Amino acid sequence: MERFAPTARTTLKRLPKRAEYDRERVYAILDEAFICHVGFVADHHPVVIPTGYGRIGDVLYIHGSAASRMLRTLGEGVDVCVTVTLVDGLVLARSAFHHSFNYRSVVVFGRARLVTDRDEKMAALRAFTEHVIAGRWDEVREPNDTELKATTVLALPLEEASAKIRTGPPIDDDADHALPVWAGVLPLHLANGEPITDEQLRPGIRLSQSVREYRRPRQNGK
C-alpha cells in the first residue's frame, strides 16, 4: 500500500491541502525525527509522554523500562496516538493573525502490541539505536538477556497515519502588502554541537565513527 487510506480521524477537516497520505513521505518525516509524543488514556484522563522510537518497514517501535507505567498500559493494547513533529521555520507575516510555523508532523493511531519474540525485540532495539545515530549499534555492547528482560518493546503497526505539512512564505491579506513590515520565513533546524567526551573514558579511545559522521538532518534512507 503506497498511501494510507484516510479515516475519520486522519482526515483534516480544515486546511485539507496540508494533509499528506503518501506512505513514503510520511516515513521520511518519521525517519528524520527521533522523538515522538505518545498519547494514551490512563484513569480516564489523557497523558502525553515524549519518547524515542524506531521504524522497521510498516511498524513503529517504542521501548522503555519494563517498570514504565506508560509501556505497561500500552502493552495491554489500549488505543494510542503517536505524534512526531519537525519544526522547519517561523512564518513571519505582516499581520499578527497570519503568523504561523512551517512544520511537518505525523499522527499515527492504533493499538500497540507487546513484543515478546527475542529476535524481534533485538531487531527493534537495533532499529531504535540506529535511528537515533546511524552506525552506533555495531560499535557498542549489545543488550544481554538481563537487559532484554528489563526492556519492554512495543510495536505499533503503521496502518492509520497521516502527515500535515506547511511550507513556504507567509500568506498575508492583500491590503497588508502595503504595510512597511518585513515578512518572510526564519528557518529553524536541529543542530549538533561538539561531542563531550565522558570523563571516565579510558585514555587512547578516539571518537567513534558514528559520532564523527553524525549529521542533522539525518537522511538515513531507511
Asked if the bond preceding 217 is cis, omega within 30° of 0, the reply is: yes
**Count of CB atoms situated within 10 Å of the CB of 80:** 20
- Residue 14 interacting with a second copy (CB under 8 A): yes
Pairing of strands 160-166, 19-20: antiparallel
Binders of a second copy in range 94-123 (CB under 8 A):
94-97, 99, 101, 103, 105, 107, 109
Comparing CA positions, the residue from 151, 17, 18 lying closest to residue 72 is: 151
Residue 154 pairs in a beta bridge with 62, 114
- Residue 176 interacting with a second copy (CB under 8 A): yes
Binders of a second copy in range 182-211 (CB under 8 A):
182-202, 205-208, 211
**Interacting span for a second copy (CB under 8 A) from 20-28, 53-61, 113-121, 165-173:** 165-173
Comparing CA positions, the residue from 166, 165, 210 lying closest to residue 192 is: 210
Pairing of strands 19-20, 35-42: unpaired
Min dist CB 2 to a second copy, Å, is 25
Binding mask of the shown chain, residues 22 to 61, with x at each position contacting a second copy by CB under 8 A = -------------x-xxxxxxxxxxxxxx-x---------
CB of 55 or CB of 94, closer to a second copy: 94
Binders of a second copy in range 127-156 (CB under 8 A):
129, 132-133, 136-137, 139-143, 147, 150-151
